[in-house]
Amino acid sequence: MWVLFANALGRASPPGSCLHPACSVASFSSSFLPAAFLELSGPSEIKGVWKDSVTLPCAYVPVEDLVQQTLTWTVVHDEGSGVIIRRDDSGDQVLLSEYRDRVSIPKDAPGNVSLLILNLEISDKGTYTCQVTWRDNNNSLIAKEITTSLEVVKGKSRKEGVQEGKAWTGLSLYMVILIAVVCGAVVFLIISLITCIRKPKEGE
């Protein structure tokens, strides 16, 4: 269809004009093909543990001739909605106060625009949207977005799990030492009893 359209334009215009088929096809290819291979990827649902951290994945394969212009993470939950963090040429700006000092996006990692949330709160449950805008060689803007539903559950955080593991390891070591001491004492007692029994017999 595009070839027929380009041929029709070519018949109505001189070869040197921008409506020539070769020019039309080249322009279409340069603007359409990079965008066709550009997609954001990430899970539709993810679960996090209260007071722990969670990463909301959002990534794409960088395409030549497309430059990332802006990145925004927005949220819709019971507390309301809004832009959590925005990245552009001026840097990263955290716009929602309840996420300040708790969110970050990887730097110097082309294509990785995932959102890290620290110290999860129950109120963080909601729908998160990752939106990226690129600029192509024709100065046109291309935008893509994906959404991820975050569920926050109460449970043992990673830190608590590590602490419990250390406590269990310490308890296990203590039990081993205690058992060894008790066994040693029992053996010593048996040897002492045997020695005491033998001495009277030797005296006779």
Sign of the C-alpha dihedral, residues 181, 183, 189, 195? negative
Mean pLDDT, residues 36-49 taken together: 92
* Averaged pLDDT score across all residues of the chain: 79
Residues 91 and 8 both lie in one domain = no
Residue 96 has pLDDT above 50, yes or no: yes
Q: How many domains does the chain have?
A: 3
Residues 198 and 162 both lie in one domain = yes
> Comparing 5-14, 138-147, 159-168, which segment has the lowest mean pLDDT?
5-14
Residues 57 and 74 both lie in one domain = yes
- Domain-ending residue, one of 153, 177, 195: 153
* pLDDT (0 to 100) of residue 167: 53
CB 56 within 8 A of CB 86: no
Mean pLDDT, residues 3-16 taken together: 43
Mean pLDDT, residues 37-52 taken together: 94
Residues 204 and 103 both lie in one domain = no
Residues 144 and 75 both lie in one domain = yes
Residues 140 and 99 both lie in one domain = yes
Q: What DSSP line would sit under 74-102, residue for residue?
A: EEEETTEEEEEEEEETTEEEE--GGGTTT
* pLDDT (0 to 100) of residue 163: 54
Residue 160 has pLDDT above 60, yes or no: no
Q: What are phi and psi of 101, to 5 degrees?
A: 65, 10
Residues 48 and 137 both lie in one domain = yes
Residues 186 and 135 both lie in one domain = no
Residues 53 and 143 both lie in one domain = yes
Residue 174's pLDDT band (cuts 50, 70, 90): low
More confident: 30 or 132: 132
> Rounded to an integer, what distance in angstroms lies between the CA atom of residue 45 and that of residue 60?
18
pTM flag (> 0.85):
no
Structural domain span for residue 4: 1-36
- Residue 24: helix, strand or coil by DSSP? helix
Residues 148 and 170 both lie in one domain = no
Residues 100 and 30 both lie in one domain = no
Residues 160 and 65 both lie in one domain = no
Residue 155's pLDDT band (cuts 50, 70, 90): confident
